[in-house]
Amino acid sequence: MRWIKKLLLLLVTLVFIVSLYGVFKPIEGGISMEGEIHKDSGVEFIYDLTYEEDEMVVHQQNIFNKVFQIINDAENFIIVDMFLFNDNYDRQYEYPELSATLTKTLIDKKKNNPDINVTFLTDEINECYGAYSNKYLEKLKDNGIEVVVTDLNALRDSNPIYSGVWNIFIKRFGTEGKGWLPNVFDKEGEKVTARSYLKLLNFKANHRKVLITEKKALITSANPHDASAYHSNIAFVVEGDILQDLLVSEKAVAGLGVEEPGYEAIPVSAGDISVPKNMVLGTSNIDNMEICLLTEGKIKQHLLQEIKKTSKDDVIKIGMFYLSERDVIKELIKASGRGVEINLILDANKDAFGMEKNGIPNRPVAEELYKESGEKINIKWYKTHGEQYHTKLILIRGREKSVVFGGSANLTRRNIGDYNLETDLKITANNSSKVIEDVEQYFRRVWNNTEGIYTVDFEEYREQSFWKRILYLFQEWSGLSTV
């Protein structure tokens, strides 16, 4: 019995060491990036909204129309990095064929311009973590488009309670093979292996949503995923020298490659491309605008810095799918105490592709913010109709200048804690600049229900459950959550 106890102690110690290393292991070069401050880059703000008008549900879709336009205008190269890229969903619902349309647009571009370099990066979720192939990725490959499935093993472990066990005992067996379990993403989809579900439980992702060409780039919260087509999202289109930083950032992700059994390591030709200087379309900087690329943990670092700078009469406006990161919550409460006006538009976390969610994390977080601020923080819920308020947008308005954060990152430990791969822009400009006025107009429209119904009052989905708060706090602390 003594040797059994020693063996168990050794295994527990080994799991603990591997788990600890997974949380703090070195970040690959080019990840968690803070780009240069660019003053010669142009920027455009666009968004999608699903809302009610005259008792009808309206889908205002702009983002992927812009994506297709940017792809069609490209001449030298196209890099796409998108998290969700599939048509897996419950077939009792109907959605636009967004994944198929993007696939066709890229293939047509490659056929019409065989010399153009096209690289598509994505997350392992689209192949259910190696359980089966994705038909759209296969079509891209068959037509000469380079596909890179991100190696999630290269990322830090957001769920250390589990990931140590995975890395020691399960990872080596891979995830491929004949599936026998139902597909959680599509009831009618291919069966999957138990090992693919076990890999999913590591809860980490390439969550970026970026398109880059030699002329323009688009950074968004939207996925080319059929069941996500009606979500409310935001995007920024940029041009100028910031494209160089975006290229560096995406080359770093492409360079992670794929190493585990069941995947093929793919050479990344994107490593040889750059933005020709004569193709950069900078603009005159009449608004004193500064644009900076932020990825992963640098998003949190900059956001906290800007919130801490706020004082009485400043305004913070946030539109967010998930808000749960503890440091951000604490700083918002402190800012409210300094007299900063804070208006939050949150998803009620009730809808997920035909499934009903339990309101975590946003509802217990909203209750905490409301109470701890002495009811000073103003909160509204976006009124969804099966889709999600998938926006990730922050406006910090000062007396003369404002700062905007927007892109792929939710305000959660996973998203801005150097675990997931994320891409955001930080834009600083005069309050009179077009981009700031456009973002302000967006928030006014949604908050005031201008020409439609977008939001409902805080009491509509107010959640005072003690147990849900405890569950949220545990999940945020432990990483044992998909959020």
Percent of the residues in the chain that have a pLDDT greater than 70, as a whole number: 93
| pLDDT(268) > 50 | no
On whether the CB atoms of residues 366 and 322 are closer than 8 A, the answer is no
Cβ atoms 167, 254 nearer than 8 A: no
Q: How far is CA 244 from CA 36, 217, 376, 436, in A?
A: 10, 10, 42, 24
Residues 383 and 434 in one domain: yes
pLDDT tens, position by position, 31-59: 999 999 999 778 999 999 999 999 999 99
**pLDDT at res. 283:** 46
pTM of the model: 0.94
| pLDDT > 90? residue 179 | no
The string of pLDDT tens digits covering residues 196-213 is 999 999 999 999 999 999
pLDDT of 273 higher than 70 = no
* pLDDT digit string, tens, across residues 327-377: 999 999 999 999 999 999 999 999 887 677 889 999 999 999 999 999 999
pLDDT at 278: 41
What is the arithmetic mean of pLDDT over 431-442? 97
State whether 132 and 103 are in the same domain.
yes
- Report pLDDT for 267: 40
Whether 105 and 118 have beta carbons less than 8 Å apart is answered as: no
Residue 260: predicted pLDDT: 41
Residue 347 lies in a domain: yes
Identify the pLDDT of residue 265: 37
- The total number of structural domains in the chain stands at 2
* DSSP assignment string, 373-425: TTS-SEEEEE--SSS-B--EEEEEE-SSEEEEEEES--BSHHHHTTSSB-EEE
How confident is the model over 379-406, as a mean pLDDT?
Answer: 97
- Same domain for 175 and 116: yes
Determine, yes or no, domain membership for 213. yes
Asked if residue 253 and residue 331 are part of one domain, the reply reads no
6 falls within a domain = no
Could you tell me if 300 and 160 lie in one domain?
no
7 within some domain: no
Helix then strand count (H, E) for the chain reads 13, 18
Domain end point (choices 279, 307, 322):
279
Contact in structure between 73 and 109 (CB atoms under 8 Å): no
Which range marks the domain in which residue 182 is found? Answer: 32-279
Confidence at residue 276, expressed as pLDDT on a 0 to 100 scale: 52
d(CA 379, CA 176): 45
Q: Are 338 and 312 in contact (CB under 8 A)?
A: yes
Question: d(Cα 407, Cα 394) in Å, to the nearest integer?
Answer: 10
- Asked if residue 273 is part of any domain, the answer here is yes
d(CA 475, CA 204): 14
Dihedral sign for Cα atoms in the order 229, 232, 234, 237:
positive
For residue 265, what are the CA distances in angstroms to 103, 132, 143, 259, 270?
22, 17, 19, 6, 14
403: domain CATH number?
Answer: 3.30.870.10
Q: How far is CA 219 from the centre of its chain?
A: 10
Quick count: other Cβ atoms within 10 Å of Cβ 99?
27
Structure tokens at 267: 């050479």
Q: Would you put residue 27 in left (φ > 0), alpha (ψ -120 to 50) or beta?
A: beta
For range 425-442, the mean pLDDT? 97
- Residue range 117-131: mean pLDDT, rounded: 95
Of the residues 245, 279, 313, which one is the last residue of a structural domain?
Answer: 279
Same domain, yes or no: 269 and 295 = no
Does residue 395 sit within a domain?
yes
pLDDT in tens, 91-117: 777 899 999 999 999 999 999 999 999
Give domain status of residue 235, yes or no: yes
Give 269's DSSP letter.
G
End-to-end CA distance of the chain: 42
pLDDT of res. 280: 44
Band of pLDDT at residue 437, cut at 50, 70 and 90? very high
The residues, any chain, with a CB within 8 Å of residue 252's CB and separated by 6 or more, are: 28, 29, 30, 31, 33
Confidence of residue 166 (pLDDT cuts 50, 70, 90): very high
Output DSSP code: residue 25.
P
pLDDT at position 296, please? Answer: 98
pLDDT at res. 286: 55
Same domain, 100 and 241: yes
The verdict on 319 and 444 lying in the same domain is yes
How high is the pLDDT of residue 261? 40
Examine the domain organization and report whether 275 and 296 are in the same domain: no
For residues 65 and 200, state if they share a domain.
yes
Tell which of 254, 279, 304 closes a domain: 279
How many CA atoms within 13 Å lie on the side-chain side of 350? 14
Confidence (pLDDT) at 266 = 38
pLDDT at 275: 53
Instruction: Provide the token pair at 298.
Output: 């640098």
Claim to verify: residue 241 and residue 320 sit in the same structural domain:
no
Shared domain for 321 and 455, answered yes or no, is yes
Neighbours of 194 (CB within 10 A): 14
Token representation of residue 212: 């880059």
- Does residue 19 fall inside a structural domain? no
Span 117-123, mean pLDDT?
96
